[in-house]
Structure 1
Amino acid sequence: TDTVCFHAQQCVEKYLKALLVLNGVSFPKTHDIEDILALVPAPCRPDLSIDDQARLTNYATVACYPGGQPPIALAEARCAVSTARRVRRDVRRLLPRQALRRPL
């Protein structure tokens, strides 16, 4: 479940950064979802609660540094995946169609 949560965090992080690139917003090298989300222009900012932001940010290190925290519960992992899917869906709706095409 730790790895699942790590990848959920990565999904959200990358989609938020895609919005920043699309809008020409520079951003620092960070995995902090709250910091990244704050840079996204309000009209296209996905809805993520403060708790979701903190939880996702925590997942950025949990898989990289195992043993420091208790294992993540299955229900929490499912919630993380659900959040990532929602952000992915919302951001993909804002991206230009050509950005969604797969290369040949």
Structure 2
Amino acid sequence: MKARRETIEQAGRWVRSAEDDFLTARNMLALGRRCPCAVVGFHSQQCAEKYMKAMLTLHSIEFPKTHDLIELLALVPRRIRIGLAVPEAAFLSRFAVETRYPGSREPVTPAEARRALRTVRGLRKILRRLLPKAATASPVTEEG
């Protein structure tokens, strides 16, 4: 039972870090015209990545140190429906690296920033229901 508790605690650490990213993305998008859209994309991707790693941790599934959501998605057992399809995973994954290096791509648009946050909001909602309460204590907001 101790091992299970430790697993839930580790998943909870991933969730808390994901919530920090969610809060950052949400607050940046709320800036409107002054929104740093690339920051919203980056933190949306990070939130998705960390929630997925929380789920994998909970199920004792080892995962590589990667930011590729498609790679992480492939590790999630089919019986667990997390609500993230490959196209959405690919869309978010590009924010992990591309947006961190100036000039590597066109600037992130407000529409892309909104889509990134909307996508991660849906994933977050589903995974918060699938994870045990002990791992999801103290959310940013339930509506988020």
The alignment's TM-score, normalised by the length of structure 2, stands at 0.67
Sequence identity of aligned pairs in percent? 46
Matched residue pairs, number? 102
Deviates more, 1:62-71 or 1:33-42: 62-71
The aligned residue for residue 74 of structure 2 is 38
User: After superposition, where does 1:1-104 map in structure 2 within 5 Å?
Assistant: 1-102=37-138
Q: Distance in 2 between matches of 1:46 and 1:77?
A: 21
Give unmatched runs, 5+ long, in structure 2.
1-36, 139-144
Look up the equivalent residue of 2:70 and give its one-letter code. E
- Per-residue CA distance 1:43-88 (angstroms, 9 max, x = gap): 2232223221111111001332122111111111101100001111
Q: Distance in 2 between matches of 1:49 and 1:42?
A: 12
Structure 1 residue matching 2:100: 3-state secondary structure: coil
- 4+ long deviations beyond 4 Å: none
Q: Rg: which structure is higher?
A: 2
Give unmatched runs, 5+ long, in structure 1.
none
RMSD: 1.2
